Amino acid sequence: MSSHRGPHLAPDIPAQPAERHPFLGSKRGRPHAVSLRLRLVAFAVLAMTLVAAERLYSIVRLHSDNLAAAQDHVLDLMERGVSQFGTVTTEGRAVLSTLAAMPGTVPLDRYSITPSDADPLTPDPGVTPEAPSFCQGLAKVAEGSAVIDAISIIAPNGVVRCSTNAAGMGLDVSGRDYFRIAMRGIPTLESVTRSYATGMPSLYAAQPVVVEEGEVSAVLLARIGLNDLLPRRFLAELGAAAQVMLVGPEGTVIMAYPDRSATLGSNLADTAPVARAMSRTRGTLLATGPDDVRRVYAYSRLPGTNLHLLVGVDERRVIAPVERATFSAGLALLVLGVIILVTFWVIGERLIVAPVQSLADRLVRFGRGEPGEAPTAHTLITELQPLVTAFEAMSSELTRRESALRNANHRLNSLASLDPLTGIANRRSFDAALALQWNTVSQLAVLMIDIDKFKAFNDLYGHKEGDSCIRLVAQTMASTLRGTDLVARLGGEEFAVLMPSASLRAATEAAQRLRRAVETVAVPHRGGPAGVVTVSIGCAACEPEPGLTSSDLMVAADRALYEAKAAGRNEVRVAGAVQPSAGSTRLAPI
């Protein structure tokens, strides 16, 4: 800034005493500088507020991260508990299966019935002889097993003929579900709210003993030891105030840790964690337990049973680091606030107030037309301008690049998930949706679709018309199906439809609609079976379960498609029961 008089500024800045300007300092008007200091204090308070907001955000993030970590931890513990349960029950079932296969393990004689028995199927403990000699071998087996507390032999009328637990001899268990299921020749694992032998909630494994005639001559029953379901290493990692519960189908606690007396045998179906576990297969939640302690719970239905395992970790373990961080943040904020105030008050006088006063004096002298020396503030302000300009340019450039990057990512995502010719999902999207739905829904159906004689269509009409045909078929299918169904182009003239929660009958009906819709469009095709473009469709549906994979469902639908093409095309064929890939899938005609 030069020191010449600016004729265009002189009339706007009249020559007045410096004390008339509140931002100037002088011997007599020194208190006017307080307003600038107050502004500095306000700025310091604002800075402290921003720091406090950042600390608060960090604490909220810490709480969220700790909660997520706790959920992952409790899920891991729960998965280990499920694995341990599977190990224990598998060992118990293996023992019973081995005993059932060994000759002479159980008495093969039929239980005696007195002439007074009008109905031989009515259990009568008084006329069912005990078989204590068979218990000698069973006792050794029970003692040698770490997971079985007691083994019993039950006659076909439901009366215990032999048991390694003396309290179980002669008991009538014909009304128990495990006995009824086993008498149908099906091994089972069931829980009871109150055992006849122990009076406590128990877990039983039942194994039918089938003779050569195919009849069930007896039932082997093992009471699984609940103490082995939770090994000490597992319990040691739970921490204080943790809780583990094994609940039956009615919400009754079969096994509990650590306070067995408070919850064991109680029906907790109306409590938040148990109610959620009984209505879901697997998950986590933050809820208050039956003992009024808030915990992070993980729950899972135990495979092959109607039991649910719940593992809860005290919420205070999650909150404790947050509380410590809050205290540390508060203390650091207090210290930082004092430092900021002192710094702004002491150093601000020299670094801010003095340069502003020097600049103000220069502006006044410039307005008066008086020459003046360029103050240090002039250099300071001039040096800040390139910084502001550079920052604005950098911010503008970063904004432009971020927008370009976001647009590029959007285009890449679209190209990666959609078929460029038809605009519907591609193979990658279909595979991802199939994997997700396989682990989510209880029923899943797949349609495999192929345009009939499409190579001949390309040869007759050219690839351009072939592309138009593919687009038209894709649009027809997309407009015919439900909004929840996913239509995808797998490649060439091959399409697939994923139908979540659809039965085989619903999938078959949808396939017929698709076939008729494509035929109704009536795209000319001299080489086609009907003179127009048609499609062949293979249908398959199943319930995702252990032993099956999504590939098995796709293989079944693909085989049905080939059967439809072999039947003359423009046909729909339905796969029978979906089997693992190593097996075969029977095809059923429409």
pLDDT digits (tens, 9 = 90+) for 430-456: 999 999 999 999 999 999 999 999 999
Q: Is the pLDDT of residue 375 over 80?
A: no
Go through 282-292 and write b for each residue having 16 or more CB atoms within 10 A of its CB, e for each that does not: bebbbbebbee
Q: Which residues contact 549 (CB under 8 A, 6 or more apart)?
A: 438, 580, 581
Q: Is the pLDDT of residue 320 over 50?
A: yes
Q: Is the pLDDT of residue 79 over 90?
A: no
The first and second tokens of residue 476, run together, are: 């027809």
Specify the pLDDT at position 189.
87
Specify the pLDDT at position 393.
67
493 flagged as catalytic: yes
Specify the pLDDT at position 95.
86
CA distance 327 to 475: 61
CATH architecture entry for 427-574: 2-Layer Sandwich (3.30)
Residues 476, 480, 482, 485, CA torsion sign: negative
Q: Coil, strand, or helix at residue 403? A: helix
CA distance 12 to 534: 87
> What is the percentage of the chain residues whose pLDDT exceeds 90?
23
CA distance 428 to 69: 31
Q: Is the pLDDT of residue 326 over 80?
A: no
> Higher model confidence: residue 324 or residue 174?
174
CA distances from 285 to 80, 295, 307 (A): 18, 8, 18
Specify the pLDDT at position 120.
38
Domain positions in the chain are 427-574
The first and second tokens of residue 351, run together, are: 């670094």
Burial group, residue 369, by CB count within 10 angstroms (0-12, 13-18, 19+):
middle
For strand 308-314 and strand 444-451, is the pairing parallel, antiparallel, or unpaired? unpaired
User: pLDDT (tens digit, 9 = 90+) per residue, 512-543?
Assistant: 999 999 999 999 998 888 889 999 999 999 99
**Contact yes or no for 153/106 (Cβ under 8 A):** yes
* 44 residue type, one letter: A
Specify the pLDDT at position 551.
92
Instruction: Give the closest residue to 200 by CA, choosing from 225, 218, 182, 221.
Output: 225
Specify the pLDDT at position 1.
43
User: Of the listed 130, 493, 563, 571, which one is catalytic?
Assistant: 493
User: pLDDT (tens digit, 9 = 90+) per residue, 327-367?
Assistant: 777 777 777 777 777 776 677 666 666 666 665 665 566 55
H-helix or E-strand containing 257? strand 253-257
Specify the pLDDT at position 18.
45
Euclidean distance between the first and final Cα of the chain, in Å?
A: 93
Q: Coil, strand, or helix at residue 223? A: strand
CA distance 335 to 338: 5
User: pLDDT (tens digit, 9 = 90+) per residue, 236-268?
Assistant: 677 777 888 888 888 888 888 776 556 777 888
Give the pLDDT mean for 289-301.
87
Specify the pLDDT at position 462.
92
CA distance 280 to 299: 8
Specify the pLDDT at position 557.
94
Q: What does residue 446 show for φ and ψ, rounded to 5 degrees? A: -135, 135
Poorest-pLDDT segment among 134-138, 201-205, 334-338, 361-365:
361-365
Specify the pLDDT at position 335.
79
Specify the pLDDT at position 533.
93
User: pLDDT (tens digit, 9 = 90+) per residue, 1-38?
Assistant: 444 444 443 444 444 444 444 444 444 444 444 566 67
> What is the percentage of the chain residues whose pLDDT exceeds 70?
72
Q: What is the mean pLDDT of the chain?
A: 77
Q: What angle do CA 37, 39, 44 make, to 5 degrees?
A: 95
HSE-CB of 400 using CA atoms within 13 angstroms: 6
CA distance 223 to 152: 9
In what order do the strands lie in the sheet containing 148-154? 160-163, 148-154, 216-224, 202-210, 188-192
The first and second tokens of residue 195, run together, are: 């055992």
Residues in a beta bridge with 208 = 219
User: pLDDT (tens digit, 9 = 90+) per residue, 537-567?
Assistant: 999 999 998 889 999 999 999 999 999 999 9
Specify the pLDDT at position 228.
65
